[in-house]
Amino acid sequence: MRAAGFTLAALLIAGSVGVAQPPAGAVPGQPVPPAQSPVAKADPQLDGHLAAWEKKMASVVNLRTEVGLTRTDSVSQRSTAYSGQVLCMKPNFAVLRLNNNADKTSTDYEAYICNGKAVYVYNGLAKTVTEIELPKAGPGVDNLMLDFLAGMKAKDVKERFDINLFKTDENYIYLDIKPRFGKDQLEFKHLRLALYGPGPATVRAAYLPAQVYMLKANDDTEVWKFSNPMVDIPGVKPEHFQYVEIKDKGWQVVKAPPQPVGGNRPVPAGGAVPAGGAVRRDK
């Protein structure tokens, strides 16, 4: 199961993706390796961008976007490409489907449904559905997925992560993010987030995520790209994020231990189309 890298990258967009499209031909470049990232103790320009990002995140109720993902193994240097969709709704609803682009059998896929009480992780190759109970919301709950779905404050982001403004250009704002605490360090070493900038070509998409590069704890990498986003879609309800039983032969449902309050285990989450389409490829 490959959920660990998904959590942060996908949920960075959970409160902030909008309707605008990227400018023609404008694609963020390959992120610079972590060793070249600048380190700044205080940066008023960064604070301004974080405040604008926070405001954008707070304004979104639900979002849907197409997702492209490339995973690269650090040992073999083999890359695998996936594509899918994510649908999220505040405060903590999400559904996702990722298909292996090279698989012609429609069996190699991952899907995630979060109904606010539990996350259901579908693994097409293993034919398993893993149910992960979420901790109840309240003081002391430390769950990265819930934090980002609710919309983290700029102050909280700076306290939890070592975050710096790497650079800006005509179309993008590049943020370097590194974990400060062990629970986040278990998931990733370094993350480069490209947000659309407030320039003339991207003003309608300003502070919406365009690409995420993640260096994971085991040195594998993931590059996430987001396209065709839609925000505050009418008619999206909690009913669209409910568990879908798969009755096909050979499938097994496994219940994982409950997520502890303040625990260190990353919780998968996601989004796509309403639940039925998340666990079965559309014909």
Task: Tell which wins on pLDDT, 122 or 181.
Answer: 122
CA–CA separation, 116 and 242 (whole Å): 9
What's the distance, Cα to Cα, between the start and end of the chain in Å?
25
Asked if residues 37 and 190 have their Cβ atoms less than 8 Å apart, the reply is yes
pLDDT at 162: 92
Task: State residue 231's pLDDT score.
Answer: 79
Strands, E, within the chain: which ranges?
62-72, 79-89, 93-100, 109-114, 118-123, 128-133, 161-168, 172-179, 188-196, 209-216, 221-231, 252-255
Residue 17 or residue 253, greater confidence: 253
Report the percent of the chain where pLDDT is more than 90. Answer: 32
| pLDDT confidence of residue 40 | 42
pLDDT for 260:
55
Domains plus CATH for the chain?
6-20+37-69+79-154+223-275 (2.50.20)
pLDDT beyond 80 at 143: no
pTM, entire model: 0.75
Cα distances from 267 to residues 117, 118, 153, 255, 270, in angstroms, run: 12, 10, 20, 14, 10
Report the pLDDT value the prediction gives residue 68, as an integer from 0 to 100. 92
Q: What is the pLDDT of residue 278?
A: 52
* Confidence category of residue 241, pLDDT binned at 50, 70, 90: very high
Are the beta carbons of 92 and 115 closer than 8 angstroms?
A: no
Which are the contacts of 14, defined by CB distance < 8 A and separation ≥ 6? 63, 88, 94, 148, 149, 271
CB 229 within 8 A of CB 208: yes
Q: Using one digit for the tens of pLDDT, what is the confidence trace for 77-116? A: 999 999 999 888 888 888 889 999 999 998 999 999 989 8
Span 202-222, average pLDDT = 85
Report the range of poorest mean pLDDT among 44-48, 150-154, 210-214, 242-246. 150-154
Split at pLDDT 50, 70, 90, the class of 148 is low
Answer with the residue of higher pLDDT: 127 or 154.
127
